Amino acid sequence: MSNNDSWTVAGRTFTSRLIVGTGKYKDFEQNATALVASGAEIITVAVRRVNVSDSKAPMLTDFIDPKKYTYLPNTAGCFTADEAIRTLRLAREAGGWDLVKLEVLGEAKTLYPDMRETLKATEVLAKEGFLPMVYCVDDPIAAKQLEEAGAVAVMPLGAPIGSGLGIQNRVTIRLIVEGASVPVLVDAGVGTASDAAVAMELGCEGVLMNTAIAEAKDPVRMARAMKLAVAAGREAYLAGRMGRRMYADPSSPLAGLI
Amino acid sequence: MTDTAIHIEIQITLNGDPRRVPIGWTIAQLVSEIGLDPKKVAVERNLEIIPRSTLAQVELRDGDVLEIVHFVGGG
């Protein structure tokens, strides 16, 4: 086992290759327990209006310590570059973090990214000193363009957000990995542990997921499963898989048969 | 608007809703009146971010549009 198998994004080094979201959980307590089980060091969070009429409502930061975990503010729900930039400027002021997750959505039905707006936002954010990890289509050319625009990581979807369909196009994910000089993480589409393992076997630096854990029957157990799957997939990638054959090849020697 | 309130209160928009606040209030006063920890929120006034360090100096003006945000769970 490679015990020192860490990865680095924008100069920051992490041991866990699993990034988890903090949405859709039953309550903050379950969220925090699942987070511990996942072993994740980075969590995504959303930026929203405070509840002015009930300021005593429990807050995420009361359950998940921002000093212990890296908060990665996202731009979920933003459909234009301007909205996303505005959201992340506020996030930086609220938390002081410049490592952010950019996503600019194209339509509500598929939550597919709008790459024209995403690219525009990436350029502006990079110029303003942000370190954007960017949700994108599984397109090797788009991934390259994002990198040129200042993305510190490219995060292609495996399948639509929240769909749990698993990685639909291994070829394009692999092409992105081969062409990138920044970390590639599969973001969205993971449904179960094997999907996370596939992402890692393709050579991704990590996997980002939310719904696969939060909507499992037992989220804490699924969080643990994802931790193991990411580790297993990574090990398999480093080990280097056997070649594929069209036909059988016996594992026992043919010589000495009685 | 002929009553004396016009002289002691101003009208702002806070997170999309109208609100009246005493004239001369700073953003920090509003934040603490709502019961929020200023260390956990960010404030935008008329599309411009107000740095946390200056919240106690920035006075609210009639017609200000304020957004106060914080972090919530998300993917």
Angle at A99 between CA A197 and CA A28, to 5 degrees: 70
Q: In this predicted model, what pLDDT tens digit does every residue of A20-47 receive, in sequence order?
A: 999 999 999 999 999 999 999 999 999 9
Using H for helix, E for strand and C for coil, what is the string for chain A? CCCCCCEEECCEEECCCEEECCCCCCCHHHHHHHHHHHCCCEEEEEEEECCCCCCCCCCHHHHCCCCCCEEEEECCCCCCHHHHHHHHHHHHHHHCCCEEEECCECCCCCCCECHHHHHHHHHHHHHCCCEEEEEECCCHHHHHHHHHHCCCEEEECCCCCCCCCCCCCHHHHHHHHHHCCCCEEEECCCCCHHHHHHHHHCCCCEEEECHHHHCCCCHHHHHHHHHHHHHHHHHHHHHCCCCCCCCCCCCCCCCCCC
Going by the DSSP 8-state scheme, the letter that residue B36 receives in this structure is -
For residue range B20-32, list pLDDT tens digits in order: 999 999 999 999 9
Q: Catalytic residue, from A26, A67, A101, A109: name it.
A: A101
C-alpha torsion A73→A127→A203→A36, nearest 10: -20
Structure tokens at A217: 């029957």
Is pLDDT at A2 greater than 90 in this prediction?
Answer: no
Query: Any residues with CB less than 8 A from the CB of B43 and at least 6 apart, and which?
Result: A93, B27, B31, B49, B50, B52, B55, B66, B67, B68
pLDDT tens by residue, A39-72: 999 999 999 999 888 878 888 988 999 999 999 9
| Least Cα separation, residue B59 to chain A (angstroms) | 19
| Through-space distance between the first and last CA atoms of chain B, rounded to whole angstroms | 47
pLDDT band at A96 (very low <50, low <70, confident <90, very high): confident
What's the CA gap between A167 and A159, in Å, rounded? 6
Instruction: Kindly provide the ipTM of the predicted complex, given to two decimals.
Output: 0.88
Q: Which among B47, B70, B75 has the least Cβ separation from residue A94?
A: B70
What pLDDT is recorded for position B38? 86
On the question of pLDDT at A138 being above 80, the answer is yes
B41 touches chain A (CB under 8 A): yes
How many Cα atoms sit within 13 Å of A154 on the Cβ side?
31
Cβ distance of A94 and B36 shorter than 8 Å: no
| Domains of chain B, earliest start first | 9-70 (3.10.20.30)
State the pLDDT at residue B2.
52
Per-residue pLDDT of chain B (75 residues; tens, 9 = 90+): 555 555 689 999 999 999 999 999 999 999 999 998 888 899 999 999 999 999 999 999 999 999 999 999 998
Selected for mutation to probe chain B from A19, A26, A50 (highest B CB count within 10 Å) is A50
Q: Give the C-alpha separation, B56 to A252, whole Å.
A: 78
Instruction: Give residue A119's pLDDT.
Output: 98
